[in-house]
Structure 1
């Protein structure tokens, strides 16, 4: 365990030693990975969107039993039980609440009143301005290189526009995997980096080994952005399943979509009324069409098939483009240490150019 080598507004805000965030990946960012990240000095974030309320509380308690370091929970601001989940974070003293979509102003205020750092993920400068005005403590941006749901603008262009728009700490995600990336992000003015795929490919990740090996064999051209899974742009590995989805008509996808909706309902324990309520909230918050809402249940079910059950023939595998330059499976501690040490060296080297 190394000492703090780089201090930023983000490390000061959250109390972590290193300006590195392990992002909240559905089915991946569970207690084991979050604990590994937290004990290594980074900010681990539990992914709650694929957990029931009871599963989330159990996961929070498990992390707290395994580390005394700060950690976070990623929440869906538009979920039917978002308020109750915010109360759960308050009850258990979770340090950071991150959001995949902009939380409501009253949600931010309530969490902040109880000392919780609020960090929404945003995809445009105007969204950063909005949540900053509402009181968000920090924001995370993800450029188009990132995995999962992603936008078209690369990190190198999205990051400076957000930095110019707000004066709160900005975490840069999308395309980061080593110390050179951290040094570059800090040089831009970011307060740290977020990584998903890089943390998925660690020994602390619970993803099946055979699936990890598939990731490690993937090159820089091995991902694709498709809207055929859940109606929204989603970067994932270019598997045979994904290729077939790309070629299948909407009508032929209808049957499997309904089957996966039933599977998701069973796994989540949600009633039809709760599913419909979530769907209406999603439509309002994200502007999804009815067709996109119908496809939305595909995501958790198909991700679970690949990332939990290891069935690459029936599941999808979210991935950032960095998968093409990753070739090992370190522990979280070893990964964070080498990133921070390399970043400090690169920053010193760059400063030597100054007269």
Structure 2
């Protein structure tokens, strides 16, 4: 008997074995009933049987082996994908999900070969069955991973949001202690609390922005008409106060008023300048140049320093990316490696763009924004 016919004829026997194995995947399966344990197993097997019964050329078989198999039209999800989402929501881990397919593969082939005895099974059916199970497993793992990532991002977002209130209380208390003038020791302790609180606040802000983009929400902006020359001068004054040994030059030309979120653009500029300070040559100035024309506002942040090689430059705006000399994702400066990524997302939220170029003399980040604000 061909394998497709066997699967459809002995569906219940196969499902009994699937259910029995799924029940051993603890603790997630401890309270699950028969229907939940079987979940979409029947639909997965029906899809496999349909695939086995469909003619497949050698070229189509090769395409499928490379992950380029046909996609069902009009179907938002396959049974394997829906199964993965439900397993993730039920508390299964990815190893248990893969184990289900491993057990399914073994039980179907064993039952079929027992049924075929003493005749020989069709070898081509075995090959195509393994391909179909691998395809279903790949679909399940892709959706399972997406579901886990979504849940993690939501958890981190809620955690970051809920941590803001106690952090604000700590910062307010530290500021109150500093204002008391209760002696040098108290003032020094309050200053340490204020500085540490500011670093924690920056990390939380980066984390929340990162999660918003991962959830497809983008960076939140509130555009109004602003004078970027004044806003950027204020931001650079703050950076100079934190880095008094670094020279930061600002040059502005043209009309630099526009409709944008001034606070967010200050954040963008601050991220670029801090990056230039951190990785630029010591004792060399950081240069910020602003220009404006009737349609656009542009600003460049440049620093002298070693050239960024093209492979690293292509990945420089990727989240959590570091160069070869920046191995740790979190360093002593309280940096998660999200600064350039968030800078890019802020530019995108304004309908603008950001680019980086680097040679033996200097590295420059260029931001180009529409004057009238982001598109609706």
The TM-score normalised by the length of structure 1 is 0.21
**Larger RCO, structure (CA 8 Å, separation 6 or more):** 1
The TM-score normalised by the length of structure 2 is 0.20
